[in-house]
Structure 1
């Protein structure tokens, strides 16, 4: 498994580099073909390369992604290594080790019959080209197992996820010379400052309202990237603000959507435009409850430590499969820490136990 993981990590696959993603798909496809005895179907949508294996009539869907957040050249500063029981390298935890576990789990069974394996190439950027493919593959299955990394360094499974929305608030003002006639301008920077405070207030109001998010807690509304202006001596005519929303329920996602779309200008002469919207729907704990109980029973039978479940704010393709009506359990991939960070690592000793857990889950749910 470590040799296979090294091969995947050494093939960099930054989401924004479609050529690199295509090369990664070839490596992942070859690994899957070797272990599963069948070549994948290669599906290119919008220039992004996805892979799918279908064995008979699927009852179980296995979902993973082969793209990463690491720009090409990251191996120079974050080389592949195994030391002290930890494997390191760009994308090793999120989620190339999960792919290795997925292939080895399925290969360990007498037959892959009744299973569909879907590996997409754009999860890290929202699965925009693969969403419909994921949803179609999930419909009619009895279970989806998502090989994203565990929720924490102790191996907790992900039993619920917030839904995500992303917006861009664009302020249109009017340029003018900031020294000679600033009064003739409409300052987009001043107006975007009002918008930042308004947006931040949406998150605070969600927490204060006590909106029931269950184990996921309140919604969060976070102003993130911001830009404004074109020159130091010009009244800014344009400003942009990115907004990240995480909502525990569809109702909260809809409520915040209405608030964001209702934003209006406070600076005379300025106008506000709202782009973007809802992305991934929430994955409630009811989507995973039965599968999590099954996983806990299997772990006990295998003599593994008791499993824990965690609701998390991050989203994945599990949000799509759950919303499609398929029972879904996430976080079955590698155990480690530091996803998307310099400290990213995989706990090598946990690779085989997690693979055995997944194999038993597949065997019992595809019947």
Structure 2
């Protein structure tokens, strides 16, 4: 069966696709619940073997859920086999166990609702479905596939980052089924994400008897928040947001401490360096106060490289037999695609199903998009 028959084949299996998605969604898997994550890794191992995996390795993670790395040979077993395609997905979500009681899995008005449907158990379902379709149709992709499933993306990939980068070193390209842009566009650029914390120390004093002997950490923090926001350069896509600030204690005491947590978004590594230097160059405004800055760039920016642009054009051609005119764009959010792109691997992100509401109570995906997006992924694996 030729590749352009992938869509009819997958459309005929829509019920199975939805059932697989339901199984994944109803197995709740918050990022810091090792027991829930490891239990889901057990189930995913079975799904990977069912999809035709030649091997499934489990990578222990004492900090959280274990990760999985599956290989699909597709007949490429010789030592000089082509470099593999890399598929990446995470199976952790932002939703705590018990969310299903108020956000149950349901199919209603052409939409699948439930925690983690859009980000990104829908995308994970597509990868498993695409690989199964290639097996069922006896299609032979031009290179083997490595499929990396990680358990900590929603908290910044602290444990899996080195695994992602090491796996990507030997790959030909990477496909990531995170949610697409509105309308289904792929993501060929993402901002880098930084997290910093600024701690301010002041001098406490009685606010009624001798306030002049105190130095307010909260007042100093107010000055610093203004300075932090001034570092931003929206014309370059650089934003800094103090998303959380707190300090002080008793209302009749000059505050001795205050803290601000800072979100940084940058489009280039040059901007990341500039912002980092500017934050470390902050100095106190009030005599007697001190500043302590911690944090760093958590995810490097996914810049639109010539290699990724070329990969997108090839993907656009591969999508045309499916009746798809792929578009591309950028987003301010980060994903594990940031890591693969930053080491120079051509990467396409946003291959997940259409939907909306990531991390929100109205999270959902469009049912009709499931066969089409699975066919797209299978076509890319088959042709790239």
Per the normalisation by structure 2, the TM-score is 0.88
Distance 1:202 1:345 in 2: 36
Q: 2:170 aligns to what SS in structure 1?
A: coil
2:322 maps to 1:302: yes
Counterpart contact for 2:245–2:258, Cα < 8 Å: yes
Counterpart contact for 1:229–1:239, Cα < 8 Å: yes
Distance 1:31 1:131 in 2: 24
Paired residue for 1:237?
256
Query: Which one of the candidate residues 288, 301, 312 is aligned to 1:282?
Result: 301
Q: 1:279 aligns to what SS in structure 2?
A: strand
Distance 2:199 2:36 in 1: 32
Query: Which one of the candidate residues 11, 17, 25 is aligned to 1:9?
Result: 25
Counterpart contact for 2:53–2:71, Cα < 8 Å: no
Paired residue for 2:145?
115
Counterpart contact for 2:89–2:148, Cα < 8 Å: yes
Count residues with an aligned counterpart. Answer: 353
Paired residue for 1:129?
159
Paired residue for 1:254?
273
Paired residue for 2:334?
315
Distance 1:258 1:37 in 2: 46
Paired residue for 2:288?
269
Counterpart contact for 1:30–1:39, Cα < 8 Å: no
Paired residue for 1:150?
180
Paired residue for 1:84?
109
Q: 2:157 aligns to what SS in structure 1?
A: coil
Deviation at residue 36 of structure 1 after TM alignment: 2.7
Query: Which one of the candidate residues 64, 69, 74 is aligned to 2:89?
Result: 64
Query: Which one of the candidate residues 196, 213, 227 is aligned to 1:167?
Result: 196
Paired residue for 1:33?
49
Query: Which one of the candidate residues 20, 25, 46 is aligned to 2:36?
Result: 20
**Aligned residue runs from structure 1 range 193-212, under 5 A:** 193-203=222-232, 206-207=233-234, 210=235
Deviation at residue 37 of structure 1 after TM alignment: 4.6
Distance 1:237 1:342 in 2: 39
2:81 maps to 1:51: no
Q: Which runs of 4+ in 1 moved over 6 A?
A: none
Residues 176-235 of structure 1 deviation map (CA, whole Å, 9 limit, x = unaligned):
3333333332211111111111111111xx23xx5xx4xxxx211111111112222322
Residues 271-308 of structure 1 deviation map (CA, whole Å, 9 limit, x = unaligned):
0011001121111112521221122112211223x111
User: Larger C-alpha radius of gyration, 1 or 2?
Assistant: 2
- For structure 2, the 5+ residue unaligned runs are 1-16, 74-80
Q: Which moved more, 1:326-335 or 1:57-66?
A: 57-66
RMSD over aligned CA atoms reads 1.7
Counterpart contact for 2:193–2:264, Cα < 8 Å: yes
